[in-house]
Amino acid sequence: MLTAVLDRSEATDELDGSALSGSRSVSSRSAEYEEAFWQAKNALYRRGKRIGRTLENSYGVRLCMVDGIPLTDRELLIEAWGSSLADEIIADDEAATGAKQCAGQGQLVNRCA
């Protein structure tokens, strides 16, 4: 059986994440975290979800459209694998990079307000 694999460049231009604020840049995340993020997108794609372009808004928050809804990294990981595994992935990244995720905000920041 052939399985479609989501190409990281496959996308649409529907994203407007201007309502969210506070984040650290994508480049400050660990390689393992980035791989988990792309695997989560691929898992959702294989389940038939429509995956849009991954962009950062003007505040540096990364958002990805999933079935027409802009999701933060945390929301995307939860959608793919549930909150327990998403929390583990985020905690591992925090330990590796020293950044924290503000509870309930789904945004990675250097310091929670």
51-92 per-position pLDDT tens digit: 999 999 888 889 999 999 999 999 999 999 999 999 999 999
Indicate yes or no: pTM above 0.75. no
> Which pairing describes strands 51-56 and 107-109: parallel, antiparallel, or unpaired?
unpaired
| Secondary structure in 3-state letters for 44-93 | HHHCCCCEEEEEECCCCCEEEEECCEEEEHHHHHHHHHCHHHHHHHHHHH
Q: Which amino acid is at 103?
A: A
Tokens representing 79? 């959608």
pLDDT tens column, 84-99 = 999 999 999 988 887 6
